[in-house]
Structure 1
Amino acid sequence: MLARRTLGRIAAQPQVLGAAPSGARNMATLREIELRLKSVRNIEKITKSMKMIASTKLAKAQRAMQAGKQYGIANSEVFEHSPAEHSGKRKLFLVISSDKGLCGGIHSSVSKATRRAIADKDVPVEADSPIMVVGDKAKAQLSRALGKNLVLTFNQIGRDIPTFADAAGVADLIMKSGVQYDGITIVYNQFVSAISYESATMEVATEASLKESSGFKAYEMEEDVTKDLAEFSLANAIYATLTESHACEQSARRNAMDNASKNATDMISKLQMQYNRGRQAAITNELVDIITGASAL
């Protein structure tokens, strides 16, 4: 008798442990879809707000970029008729990025360009060439592949529109770092349009290369003049690339948030359709149960 009762209890249990009745399972699924819909709607609100903020900042960044480009143009005109002599294989790579994310692949663009420049066999560059990074995002990427080459990093630059004081501070720290190099290459993102950008490089003359230049040898200058000119030209180049990279970052963030908002809208429509179908199925099952019970009575 006891064995029959035990077998009856086992038979009465669900086939799968922890399984709920079909009606309860449908309601749980509807509850999960409802919670997911709520979270996706909140994400859509955030991405739309970030898109509006990035659009506002992009207009300011473009105006600052136009002003920064004037520094770069003036800097190139100084050395147009008396180019510096770039000698030596040991180059200093200055990578321009930022501390913020959610802007697509803008940081990986300069990281990949730096790795290609060092690994390029057509251009004579030493494998242990020093690397300095502006921004924590590119620093994290390059530390995995070229961690031994990193000698100096800068952060908290570019949180707002970069200024010439920021560029001058970076140039001053580079000159005082004591790192040995034969040339300076700045790797940055070049602004193509409001929806596109590409990685680019800019060569900057050093103090030693200016002294070896035939155009500068024609004039008698003191030691401090050449050093100050090299530091000032480096600050000009850094400022021009900082402002252009900042404009690229705001453009990429706006495009990324726009794509994220569109994806969230598509996901909301799919989840809403799935929720409606599940709700209709649950109502239909309840009606079938009611009709079946009424027929039995």
Structure 2
Amino acid sequence: MLARQSLARARGPAVAAAAAPTQARNMATLREIELRLKSVRNIEKITKSMKMIASTKLAKAQRAMQAGKQYGVANAEVFEHTPSETPAKRKLFVVVSSDKGLCGGIHSSVTKQTRRVFADKDSVVEKDSPIMVIGDKSKAQLSRALPGNLVMSFNQIGRDIPTFADAAGVADLIISSGVEYDSVAIVYNKFVSAISYESAIIEVDTEKALQEAPGFKAYEMEDDVTKDLAEFALANAIYAALVEGHACEQSARRNAMDNASKNASDMISRLQMQYNRGRQAAITNELVDIITGASAL
């Protein structure tokens, strides 16, 4: 009997010591879940606000895109009637992206399209063709994939709806850069609908290519005419690509923020259920301890 009592006394402190860390661990876990719930709720508020802002900007971007597309249509008609006799081998690739993120994989789309052109074995494009990038996002990606081809980059374009002055400034810098090329290939995101887009390429001929085209040889023109036309056509194409890419970016950002808000809502539901279960378990353990203590008395 004395041995049993001494054994019970020896076990008592051990059981109490084991029970205390369990309750402390439950309290710590509940505290962690509560802090995580608070942070996820804050993130949900931010993503919902960004979705509303992107929806407002998308409506403005779509109106600007409809007006800017007319510039690209005019370019396409000119070059359709003046096809080049020989395909250009040394192309200047102008990749259109932006400086902002949080819009899904829209910047990776134009980067992958550019990489596919250079990786295509059947393509006549020279592997050392120069690349110029509008936007820091695609610049960071292409500087890792094709560092030897990157010759120039532009930033601070597309913070708001792009204007023709922005496109004209980019075209002027491209022409005055001294980079040699046979034609310009503008890689941009083509607006399909409010929830989808696809990468596309606009081809723009140079002054030399226009002079050698059969459609221009049939007429007597001064050199300044083809020079001005080539510069204006390049600015037109860049402007059309900028406004369409901007609309795609706002659409992708709205969809990304919508998906992020839904994911945050689902995470809040799971964490709330986990918190309720943990809190109920802690209350049950405390009740068991109280009832056990009362029974012992």
Query: Would you say same fold, with TM above 0.5?
Result: yes
CA shift, 1:78, in A, is: 2.3
Partner of 1:194: 194
Residue matched to 1:151: 151
- Give me the identity figure in percent: 82
Give secondary structure in 1 for the equivalent of 2:71: helix
Match of 1:52 in 2: 52
| CA gap 1:223/1:15 in 2 versus in 1, 3 angstroms | farther
State the alpha-carbon separation in 1 of the partners of residues 16 and 118 from structure 2: 64
- Aligned-partner Cα distance in 2 for 1:20–1:183: 76
Distance in 2 between residues matched to 1:274 and 1:48, nearest whole Å: 24
The reply on whether 1:139 has 2:154 as its aligned counterpart is no
Q: Distance in 2 between matches of 1:48 and 1:128?
A: 44
**What per-residue deviation string (whole Å, max 9, x for no partner) do you get for residues 120-144 of structure 1?**
1222111111000000000000000
2:181 matched to 1:167? no
Q: Is the 8 A contact 2:95 2:133 kept in 1?
A: yes
Structure 2 portions without partners, runs of 5+: 1-9
| CA displacement at 1:218 relative to structure 2 | 1.7
Once the two structures are TM-superposed, the CA of residue 13 in structure 1 deviates from its matched residue by 12
What do residues 23-61 of structure 1 show as CA deviations (whole Å, max 9, x unaligned)?
Answer: 111000000000000000000000000000000000000
What pairs up with 1:29-68 in 2 under 5 angstroms? 29-68=29-68
- 1:4 paired residue number: none
Unaligned runs of 5+ in 1: 1-7
Distance 1:287 1:20 in 2: 14
How far did 1:84 drift?
A: 3.7
The amino acid of 1:100's aligned partner reads K
CA distance in 2, matches of 1:105, 1:261: 18
Distance 1:108 1:291, change over 3 A: same
| SS state at 2:197 partner | strand
Amino acid at match of 2:111: S
| 1:272 pairs with 2:239 | no
Relative distance call for 1:124 and 1:29 in structure 2 (3 A) is same
The structure 1 segments of at least 4 consecutive aligned residues displaced by more than 6 Å after TM superposition are 11-16
Residues 136-161 of structure 1 deviation map (CA, whole Å, 9 limit, x = unaligned)? 00000000010110001000000100
> In 2, are the aligned partners of 1:86 and 1:205 still within 8 Å (CA)?
no
How far, CA to CA, are the matches of 1:30 and 1:183 in structure 2?
63
**Hey, what does 1:93 align to over in structure 2?**
93
Residue identity opposite 2:83 in structure 1: P
Amino acid of the residue matched to residue 118 of structure 1? Answer: F
Q: Structure 2: how far apart are the matches of 1:231 and 1:196? A: 32
Contact 2:82 / 2:210 at 8 angstroms: preserved in 1? no
Deviation at 1:72, TM superposition (A): 0.7
Return the TM-score normalized by structure 1.
Answer: 0.93
Superposition TM-score, scaled by structure 2 size: 0.93
Q: Provide the C-alpha distance between the structure 1 equivalents of 2:41 and 2:85, rounded to a whole number of angstroms.
A: 58
